[in-house]
Each structure stands twice: as structure tokens, then as C-alpha cells.
Structure 1
Amino acid sequence: MGRETCKTCGEAVENGYTICWKCGTGVDGSPPAAEFVPDALAPGETQRTLACLRCGTGLSFVRRMKLHEGSLLPGLLLDVGKLFTNREGFDTYACPGCGKVEFFLAG
């Protein structure tokens, strides 16, 4: 059995796994189990169910991202510069229909 591609989201499914890590669909095409939570979410968190404001297609959870505000100081002070940046967590959702991306504060 080689590397397979998820029939729902197109993500690569590694050898030996029976479900897609990203969406929970079985390699045989079976739907995700009700208790499936993507790895990108912390335990106990659930995804939002959102529709794209542009085309109405359901948005797909991409991952939780940490974005920083501010600049990093170059050179030897690089590590010190990181202390002065504001890092905020965002859940990222993308529309598979039109490509619109939306960010929501991580809850």
C-alpha cells in the first residue's frame, strides 16, 4: 500500500493510516467520525461552521497561526527583538470555491 490521497480534501495520507489527518475522511472514502478533531486544534476545541461571505461555500479550517506585529531587529539583537513583538493566535479558514481566506481570533 503506497501513499494515498484523501478523496475529500486532496491531502496526502501516509502509509499505515486509515483516515486523513486533515479532515478525518477514511482512505476508503467513509465520512469522518463524529468525534474527529483535526490535529491543528487543541483538545476540547471544535471548529466553527462558517460559510464564505463571497460565494456561500463552506469554509475549511486550515490551521491555527501565530502572527506577529512589529519588526525584528537585525543582527545580534535578533533574539532580543522578538521580545518586543506582539504575537496573536488566529484560526485560519479558507474557501475551497473562490479562495477567500478569513482569520478569527483563537478562542
Structure 2
Amino acid sequence: MTIDQAIDGAAVTPEAIQEALLGFLEGRTKSTLSPTEDLFASGLLSSMFAMELVVHLEQSYRIAIVGADLKLDNFRTVQGMTDLVLRLQGGSTAGSDV
């Protein structure tokens, strides 16, 4: 799924979110990533890039990330960001095996 499809209202599945996020991040970092890789520990994600990522997620998935949702752990991995998007869209992340 492309970001345009997410914005245009195509079905947003956990797999599609994860795929789009991996594509975005791999394009920006020029690195191959796994959904569970710690992006901060690897040095691929800085606090400045994390803020850009917040804006990217908000615009791409029409969500608002505020308050307690801005904690670092929500952005540490692609899986964490996928779970955050699903939760903020009203979906369930319980038992997510993405």
C-alpha cells in the first residue's frame, strides 16, 4: 500500500501500514529494516527525524498523535508505529502478528 492509497481511503490493514512504513523508512535511511528493529538503538532514527515521522504518520493515516502517545516507545519499531496507528484509528492491536 502506498501512502496515497492510505490517504484515499483504501483498506488499511496492519500489513499495509507496516509495508508502507518500512518503505518510507528504508527510502529515507537507505537501510533494510525489519519490523521489530529498534530504530533508535540502531542509530537510524534521531529525535528530529522522529518528529518528522510523527507528522508523516498523522498526515498519511489521518490521526492525531498527542500527549502520552508521543512517547518514544511508540516509535522505536515499525511494529510499534503500526500498533499506534491502528489504535488511534480505533482498530485493535491485541494479538497483532504483523
Q: Give me the TM-score of the superposition, normalised by structure 2.
A: 0.24
Larger radius of gyration: 1
| Greater helix content | 2
